[in-house]
């Protein structure tokens, strides 16, 4: 049992001289003889999860505050609809850019975190995703995982003859093909990025 100690301020004479009353004794609880403190330890509040999600597949992207409420936008959807939903879901309007020398024609892009949305003639035609906690494929694959882990769960292989280093493809759970790039070699090689649809690559 904790020992209660009464701490009295022993300045009665001085307080009386000043016309003040002696303060009430203050009771403080000390650790018990077993050495166990009675005060509860405080913990820092957990960081709130970032809102929004982008669920990626071979033919489009779903955007929402949660996976359950995400709205899917297939390739061919108007840019203003996709960008508006992306801003509302991911909390940012992103950065816009353009490249007039892409093989498919002049393209425009919206970058939000690690996700790039690709547009051609004002319509969504593809996406490119690097590691980002908000971006995940519809079958649960995220950039940043080890390539050998992807190979263990999906049919994934490097593309022979590709002029782009580390380019690979894998068969998603829905039977569609998603592409990407591997960084590094050997068992610690990681999936650097995933992509689908039309992208501005120079092969």
Q: Are 191 and 147 in contact (CB under 8 A)?
A: yes
The stretches of the chain forming alpha helices (DSSP H) are: 12-17, 79-90, 147-153
- Quote the pLDDT of residue 30: 35
Supply the pTM of this predicted model. Answer: 0.74
Beta-strand relationship, 135-137 and 53-57 = parallel
In a domain? residue 27: no
**pLDDT higher than 90, residue 2:** no
What pLDDT shows up at residue 51?
A: 63
More confident residue, 33 or 180: 180
Residue 91 maps to a domain: yes
Question: What is the reported pLDDT for 45?
Answer: 38
The answer as to whether 23 is a domain residue is: no
Q: In which domain, by residue range, is 149 found?
A: 53-197
Which residues lie below 8 Å from residue 155, measured CB to CB, with a gap of 6+?
Answer: 170, 171
Q: What is the CATH number of the domain that holds 97?
A: 2.60.460
| Share above pLDDT 70 across residues of the chain, in percent, rounded to a whole number | 75
Distance of CA 64 to the CA centre of its chain: 14
Does any domain span residue 124?
A: yes
- Residue 144 belongs to a domain: yes
In a domain, 17, yes or no: no
Q: What is the pLDDT of residues 144-175, one digit of tens each?
A: 999 999 999 999 999 999 999 999 999 999 99
- CA atoms of 8 and 10, how far apart (whole Å): 6
**The pLDDT of residue 35 is above 80:** no
More confident: 43 or 90: 90
For range 98-102, the mean pLDDT? 95
In a domain, 26, yes or no: no
Q: How confident is the model at residue 111 (pLDDT cuts 50, 70, 90)?
A: very high
Asked if residue 44 has pLDDT above 70, the reply is no
Mean pLDDT of 70-81: 98
- Number of domains comprising the chain: 1
85 pLDDT exceeds 90?
yes
Best CA proximity match to 20, nearest among 10, 12, 9: 12
């Amino acid at each position: 049992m904790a020992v209660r100690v009464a701490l009295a301020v022993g300045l009665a004479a001085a307080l009386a001289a000043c016309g003040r009353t002696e303060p009430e004794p203050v009771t403080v609880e000390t650790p018990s003889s077993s050495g166990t403190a009675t005060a509860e330890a405080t913990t820092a509040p957990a960081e709130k999860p970032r809102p929004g999600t982008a669920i990626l597949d071979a033919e489009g992207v779903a955007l929402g505050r949660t996976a359950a409420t995400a709205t899917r936008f297939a390739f061919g959807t108007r840019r203003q609809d996709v960008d508006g939903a992306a801003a509302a879901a991911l909390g940012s309007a992103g950065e816009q850019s353009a490249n007039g020398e892409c093989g498919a024609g002049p393209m425009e892009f919206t970058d939000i975190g690690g996700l790039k949305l690709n547009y051609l003639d004002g319509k969504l035609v593809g996406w490119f995703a690097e590691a980002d906690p908000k971006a995940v494929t519809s079958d649960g694959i995220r950039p940043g995982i080890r390539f050998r882990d992807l190979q263990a769960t999906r049919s994934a292989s490097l593309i022979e003859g590709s002029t782009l280093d580390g380019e690979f493809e894998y068969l998603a759970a829905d039977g569609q093909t998603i592409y990407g790039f591997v960084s590094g070699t050997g068992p610690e090689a990681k999936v650097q990025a995933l992509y689908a649809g039309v992208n501005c690559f120079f092969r």
